[in-house]
Amino acid sequence: MCGIVGGVTNKDITALLLEGLNRLEYRGYDSSGLIVLSKNNSFDRIRSVGKVRNLENILKAREQKISGNIGIAHTRWATHGEPSIDNAHPHISMNSVSLVHNGIIENYIDLKNEQLNRGYSFSSETDTEVIAHAIDFAMKSCNTLISSVQLAIKSFSGSYGLGVISSKYPDQIIATRKGSPLVIGIGTNGNYIASDQMALLSVTKEFIFLEEGDVAEIKIDKITIYDLNGNLVVRPIKISMLKAGSVDLGNYDHFMQKEIFEQPQAIRDTLESRITNDSIVISAFGFKAEKKFNKVKQVQIIACGSSYNAGLVAKYWLEDIAKIPCNVEVASEYRYRRPIILNDTLFVTLSQSGETADTVEALKAAKIINCNICTLCITNSAESSLTRLSDLTFLTHAGPEIGVASTKAFTTQLVSLALLACSIGKLQNTINRSQEKSIINGLKKLPGLIHKALHQEEKIKKLATRFQNKNSALFLGRGTMHAIAMEGALKLKEISYIHAEAYPAGELKHGPIALIDKDMPVIAIAPNDELLEKLKSNLQEVKSRGSQMIVFEDENSLIEPMEAMEVISITSNVGRITAPIIFTIPLQLLSYHVALSKGTDVDRPRNLAKSVTVE
């Protein structure tokens, strides 16, 4: 939700700001902008609506090139105020302060009224402009930029990651964060800030991850950090394991396509060192995990979007394998109700980014309701708000996921959740050694099986053209496949803008069957499991209403092809853990190719953002 990048260097900063914006575009692309302090210490700003390439085109067309050693930039996902030039960041107050912001200032209307009375004027509809004016006002009574920012932020409620520069202090950037991510990159030619380390990989691998409420003064050769109480602090420097190339497209056309095809390797990486001698390494969840999992009596899973769908699959596994009750709920609902959280609850947050605001807040709320619970986060981001707030962390090792529609993060979450169910089952003796071995063997076969499923791409691509003129689609599955159908429907909605719904196949007759006619494509998932015969009856019910159907089956499900029904075999005799992971693949490919045939922006679908760090 909005991306920030900035730096103070001994070189021209403009190219790095643009590169950083491109790398951060997954966080929003309603508008972008950058500002530098030029040689005479005056602001030089450009802004543009839409994607970063529009900003690049404006820059190229400008006669007088932008250049400076200090600058900040922003790519926006609009919350307050429509996507427009006036609402694009950076914002400026009184030609003295300029800033970029990620987050929401909830009390901005009160602050705005106060500032109007003080004589400030507003050129945008954003909540952000009040921050710039508040810092400018604070500068009247403070003698440094950092103390002005420290004073101003006292008046804000809400969340912020901020990069602030001032024409009166041309040698520094002030960075601060609360509820939104912000890292400092330490380079040889200067120091930098960004919402995500990926933006800075071309200039550094050394990062400082700011804590909640930290305020930092960043100069070319010196970084000074104060905590939220104003105490001088030293935060550890971490070396990033990410490679600059891992966030490039390589030979692929889209990040989503690249990430779909990376799944065999992503799963191998997720399993690596988590299994030894066909046995799960429980300490992979943290050194205290064994003690905690021994006592767990119920599991609560909290997540949003695709991560929520992964949680729904895990409920089946935890109840079936570990024999403990499991609830799954979307974070935006959970955080605002008064849930009962029993002792010995394992509270699991699932999140690719580790930064989704609702998930982070739900975790904080749960810890207040019952401080005795054990908290585990399963995330793809080692340095994130969720990892900092949780007792235990399990990293999915999917590698950077750039495409807004989640693919490899989802399947590696499923692998991680299977390991979790198996770990608790093993410790609580609900599975024996041979059952553990068989689950592990299934997981180890996944990369090969996914590879095989990916081979069906050409057939799926042909079917995708049928969706070009469709307005709706229905996805059917039973058991864990209902959650996978939900993920398939979400993927189609997200990137092709076709309305899609998922239903448990047995529930169809209680309403949605009324929607079925020749214009409503139905996509069904048919693994060879104990519900297969029931599913076959459900398919007959749909077929007899004239629907155009696509069935993704297990070779041994032996679905009889009929007129207007395409059956594609995806796999052969896979188990209850591996099946949902493998049947995700054709649904990802289908939505990818439908989006391509409709000509939508696959990696940056309208109105969405990869990481939703605002409520």
Active site residues: 2, 610
Based on the shown chain and the rule CB under 6 A, indicate whether residue 610 belongs to the binding site for ligand G6P.
yes
Q: Give residue 29's Cα distance to chain centre.
A: 15
Which is nearer to ligand G6P, 14 or 611 (by Cβ)? 611
Q: Which region, judged by CB under 6 A, interacts with ligand G6P, from 52-60, 292-300, 305-313, 480-488?
A: 305-313
Q: Which of 356, 390, 407, 578 binds ligand G6P (CB under 6 A)?
A: 356
The number of residues making up the chain comes to 615
Backbone angles phi, psi at 610, to 5 degrees: -70, -45
Which is nearer to ligand G6P, 22 or 356 (by Cβ)? 356
CA distance 34 to 214: 24
Q: Which region, judged by CB under 6 A, interacts with ligand G6P, from 139-147, 216-224, 470-478, 606-614?
A: 606-614
Q: How far is the CB of 407 from ligand G6P (least distance, A)?
A: 9
| Helix (H) / strand (E) containing 380 | none
Which is nearer to ligand G6P, 351 or 411 (by Cβ)? 351
Give 27's contacts (C-beta < 8 A, 6+ positions apart): 1, 2, 3, 75, 77, 102, 195, 196, 609, 610, 611, 613
**Torsion angle in degrees (nearest 10) through CA of 486, 488, 492, 493:** 10
Q: Which region, judged by CB under 6 A, interacts with ligand G6P, from 145-153, 236-244, 352-360, 531-539?
A: 352-360
Q: How far is the CB of 612 from ligand G6P (least distance, A)?
A: 5
SS3 content of the chain, % helix, strand, coil (to 5): 40, 25, 35
* Contact present, 528 and 556 (Cβ < 8 Å): yes
CA distance 485 to 594: 16
| Helix (H) / strand (E) containing 438 | helix 433-454
The string of DSSP codes covering 73-88 is EEEE--SSS-SSTTTS
- In 410-564, the DSSP E strands lie at 472-477, 499-504, 522-526, 549-554
Based on the shown chain and the rule CB under 6 A, indicate whether residue 548 belongs to the binding site for ligand G6P.
no
CA distance 525 to 486: 11
Q: Which of 166, 352, 412, 423 binds ligand G6P (CB under 6 A)?
A: 352
Q: Interior CA angle at 306 toward 489 and 77, to 5°?
A: 100
Which is nearer to ligand G6P, 280 or 360 (by Cβ)? 360
Based on the shown chain and the rule CB under 6 A, indicate whether residue 38 belongs to the binding site for ligand G6P.
no
Based on the shown chain and the rule CB under 6 A, indicate whether residue 608 belongs to the binding site for ligand G6P.
yes
Based on the shown chain and the rule CB under 6 A, indicate whether residue 240 belongs to the binding site for ligand G6P.
no
**Strands of 345-351's sheet, edge to edge?**
326-330, 298-303, 345-351, 374-379, 392-395
Give 20's contacts (C-beta < 8 A, 6+ positions apart): 3, 5, 73, 194, 199, 200
Q: How far is the CB of 367 from ligand G6P (least distance, A)?
A: 18
Q: Which of 282, 612, 613, 614 binds ligand G6P (CB under 6 A)?
A: 612
CA distance 23 to 194: 10
Other beta carbons less than 10 A from residue 398's beta carbon: 27
Q: How far is the CB of 486 from ligand G6P (least distance, A)?
A: 12
Which is nearer to ligand G6P, 22 or 353 (by Cβ)? 353
Based on the shown chain and the rule CB under 6 A, indicate whether residue 270 belongs to the binding site for ligand G6P.
no
Rounded to whole angstroms, what are the CA distances from 174 to 40, 223, 317? Answer: 20, 10, 47
Among residues 119, 132, 45, which one has the least CA distance to residue 85? 45
Based on the shown chain and the rule CB under 6 A, indicate whether residue 306 belongs to the binding site for ligand G6P.
yes
Based on the shown chain and the rule CB under 6 A, indicate whether residue 307 belongs to the binding site for ligand G6P.
yes
Q: How far is the CB of 551 from ligand G6P (least distance, A)?
A: 26
Size of the site for ligand G6P (CB under 6 A): 16
Q: How far is the CB of 409 from ligand G6P (least distance, A)?
A: 6
Per-residue mark of binding to ligand G6P, 109-148 (x: CB under 6 A):
----------------------------------------
Q: Which of 14, 240, 406, 412 binds ligand G6P (CB under 6 A)?
A: 406
- 46, with CB counted inside 10 A (0-12, 13-18, 19+), is buried
Q: How far is the CB of 370 from ligand G6P (least distance, A)?
A: 22
Q: Which region, judged by CB under 6 A, interacts with ligand G6P, from 212-220, 347-355, 498-506, 595-603?
A: 347-355
Based on the shown chain and the rule CB under 6 A, indicate whether residue 398 belongs to the binding site for ligand G6P.
no
Q: How far is the CB of 307 from ligand G6P (least distance, A)?
A: 4
Q: How far is the CB of 26 from ligand G6P (least distance, A)?
A: 9
Based on the shown chain and the rule CB under 6 A, indicate whether residue 359 belongs to the binding site for ligand G6P.
yes
Which is nearer to ligand G6P, 402 or 424 (by Cβ)? 402
Among residues 124, 137, 128, which one has the least CA distance to residue 96? 137
Q: How far is the CB of 136 from ligand G6P (least distance, A)?
A: 34
Based on the shown chain and the rule CB under 6 A, indicate whether residue 404 belongs to the binding site for ligand G6P.
yes
* Contact present, 522 and 547 (Cβ < 8 Å): yes
CA distance 284 to 288: 10
Q: How far is the CB of 448 from ligand G6P (least distance, A)?
A: 27
* Nearest-CB residue for ligand G6P: 305
Based on the shown chain and the rule CB under 6 A, indicate whether residue 181 belongs to the binding site for ligand G6P.
no
Q: Which of 69, 115, 412, 611 binds ligand G6P (CB under 6 A)?
A: 611
Q: Which region, judged by CB under 6 A, interacts with ligand G6P, from 127-135, 332-340, 402-410, 427-435?
A: 402-410
Q: Which of 271, 282, 304, 590 binds ligand G6P (CB under 6 A)?
A: 304
CA distance 217 to 145: 8
Structure tokens, 591: 């939505």
Could you write out the three-class secondary structure of 523-555? EEEECCCCCHHHHHHHHHHHHCCCCCEEEEEEH
Based on the shown chain and the rule CB under 6 A, indicate whether residue 492 belongs to the binding site for ligand G6P.
no
Q: Which of 32, 69, 351, 396 binds ligand G6P (CB under 6 A)?
A: 351
Binding to ligand G6P (CB under 6 A) within 407-466 occurs at: none
Q: Across the strands, what pairs with 378?
A: 350, 394
The contact set with ligand G6P (CB under 6 A) reads: 304-307, 351-353, 356, 359, 404-406, 608, 610-612
